[in-house]
Amino acid sequence: MSMNNGAEIRAKAEAYKDWTAQNLSSIIKVPAMSNDEKNRILFLKELCEKTGFDEVRVDGLGNLLARVGNGPKKLVIDAHIDTVGIGDRSQWKKDPFSGDIEDGLVHGRGTSDQTGGAAAMISAGRILKEMGYAGQYSVWFVFSIIEEDCDGMCWKYLIEEEGFKPDLFVSTEPTSLRLYRGHRGRMEMEVHLKGVSCHGSAPERGVSAAYKAARAALAMEALNASLKPDDDGFLGKGTVVVSKIDVHGPSQCAVPDQAMLYLDRRLTWGETKDQAIQQVKEAVMAAGIDQVEVVMPEYNITSWTGKKYGQELYFPTWKFPEDHPFVQAGVAAHKAVFDAAPVVDKWTFSTNGVAVAGAHGIPSIGFGPGDENQAHAPNEITRVDDLWKAAAFYAALPYVLEDAKL
């Protein structure tokens, strides 16, 4: 890619700065909580059709796919368009779905996490169409669903059920315009404990599942402290958090005989789901609890299209080395439009990359507008300037890849 192309792409992206921000504002005004995305998907479908993509379609699960170019290879740029809820409304200074644009910021739930990426993708598609991109890649912009409830399941469906497998994958989750090359995986676990119930007036006659749960929770605190980072220190250490404790018995006047701890386990490079389950069992038993069952739950849902689908709640870790050709192509694209190398880093949270890169090993990178710390927070915002810069990066990448050895 010549620097002239880079300059042209940057100029076009900057010229569409307000258009991109207005599109994001419009997207925010059509709420789409996880697994309730129909209205937003249909709105985006119409927007992509008006923008002039070569192909726009909705898959069986309900993801929206929009294409520019006809090359034999698939470059996929992905944004999940579902969001979490708003939480405590009183903590929001503005309507969470206002989409207000003020002082260089777009306000509302999902602006950073991560419909800012979706708005930038539409602008990138417009730029590629106007420049007549006709290279070796079909550039697919995918507006995916159900990520907040079950990250990566949308891509598990596309790859494993519809045979739509990218050659290269870009996540537009927020990176503060840094280039990301991996993140920790995760899994969810249920720890089931049993006690013996008796009347609450004589607790010595029974065995309290509540006290077992308390000891098991403290054992998880200790296990978390003992977990080690990956060999090169890039992703950091794994973690385990008790996110819920449920204790019950025959009545409010009885010693409880059942308890369940729900665990959020983040997995660094080299940690496996079987290893993580065994660690939990051993830690709980070391706390003096002799009867413990650790299971990994399943997620099953009927999507907005009526499609029933699901998976186990395990999301594999992924990372690619900094000298990987695709990571280096990302560096080159950044240099082409911004005359500077990007900061190369990783996410703290999890993305759809768990399925594409983690489960299927497809080369993947991340580059997105907005900040990770805005995710799921009240008064969520993203910067208007991030949006056009992200659009420029996405439009430049296919041209850079023409010369890359991938």
- The catalytic site residues sit at 82, 147
CA atoms within 13 A on the CB side of 40: 30
DSSP state of 343: P
3-state secondary structure 270-327: CCCHHHHHHHHHHHHHHCCCCCEEEECCEEEEECCCCCEEEEECEECCEECCCCCHHH
Burial class (CB in 10 A: 0-12, 13-18, 19+), 68: buried
| Count of CB atoms situated within 10 Å of the CB of 238 | 25
Among 342, 335, 340, smallest CA distance to 365 is for 342
- CA 266 to each of CA 229, 269, 333, 334, 371: distance values in angstroms, whole numbers, following the listed order: 11, 10, 31, 30, 20
**Do the strands 381-383 and 179-180 form a parallel or antiparallel pair, or are they unpaired?**
unpaired
DSSP state of 123: H
Q: Is 393 helix (H, G, I), strand (E, B) or coil?
A: helix
Calpha distance 212→259 (Å, rounded)? 8
* DSSP element (H, E) containing 401: helix 384-401
Q: Is the peptide bond before 374 cis (omega within 30 degrees of 0)?
A: no
Asked if residue 384 lies in contact with residue 390, where contact means CB atoms within 8 angstroms, the answer is: no
Residue 182, by phi and psi: left (phi above 0), alpha (psi -120 to 50) or beta? left
Among 49, 28, 25, smallest CA distance to 39 is for 28
Calpha distance 138→1 (Å, rounded)? 17
Asked if residue 128 lies in contact with residue 69, where contact means CB atoms within 8 angstroms, the answer is: yes
| Count of CB atoms situated within 10 Å of the CB of 339 | 11
